[in-house]
Chain A
Amino acid sequence: DAGVTQSPTHLIKTRGQHVTLRCSPISGHKSVSWYQQVLGQGPQFIFQYYEKEERGRGNFPDRFSARQFPNYSSELNVNALLLGDSALYLCASLSVEPGYGYTFGSGTRLTVV
């Protein structure tokens, strides 16, 4: 069974551009969360989706948006990129079974130049 897959693994963008990051959760998992991790800090919560609906949003500007598709995969979109958006973006797949932690993908390393 495949784990959480994220694409692309690395990305370099220019300030002002737009980026789309993709995530496929574990088969059967209906909930996905997105996190931003900057070096030296813990992952910061961006969004959570469950059954294609937004269930939570972190303290990120409106330039950040996301959606979840009928097959439960998800996209994170960031508009008007800033240098400070350079980070590792992690997607987590959540089981509905209690007592299980999140399963993370390997992340997308975004560099904004």
Chain B
Amino acid sequence: ILNVEQSPQSLHVQEGDSTNFTCSFPSSNFYALHWYRWETAKSPEALFVMTLNGDEKKKGRISATLNTKEGYSYLYIKGSQPEDSATYLCAWYSSNTGKLIFGQGTTLQVKP
């Protein structure tokens, strides 16, 4: 069974706090790791697609790192804002199955 695990399951922070989430995935047959933000009543929106070990990507206050050898990725949000409230999904793309397998997501609530 190929599992993608995310932690924590949910997170409540105050506006201005920085936070980070973890995504664990199988280290074998790695092709890519995706991060998505899913706001209530909207579609999941792609944040990052990461392919290289050691990769770091940044979009505004959000950044992500990738370790393919040990099978984990971190997503960081600096100075959380209420508009960052959403479910953050990671997904592992396997080279031998060609499938994008999602974790269960981390739901972030940022209180003003």
Q: Which residues of A contact B (CB under 8 A)?
A: 3-4, 33, 35, 40-45, 48, 55-56, 58, 90, 98-107
Q: Which of A3, A48, A106 contacts B99 (CB 8 A)?
A: A48
CA distance A55 to B98 in the complex (A): 8
Decide if A42 touches B89 in the complex (CB within 8 Å).
yes
Given known A-B contacts A33-B100, A42-B104, A45-B100, A90 and B44 have beta carbons under 8 A apart: yes
The majority secondary structure among interface residues of chain A is loop
Nearest first, the 10 closest Cβ-Cβ pairs linking A and B are: A101-B46, A42-B102, A104-B43, A42-B104, A104-B44, A43-B102, A101-B34, A101-B49, A106-B43, A45-B99
Interface residues of B in 1-26 (CB under 8 A from A): 4, 6
The majority secondary structure among interface residues of chain B is strand
CA distance A106 to B43 in the complex (A): 5
Given known A-B contacts A55-B98, A56-B98, A104-B43, A99 and B51 have beta carbons under 8 A apart: yes
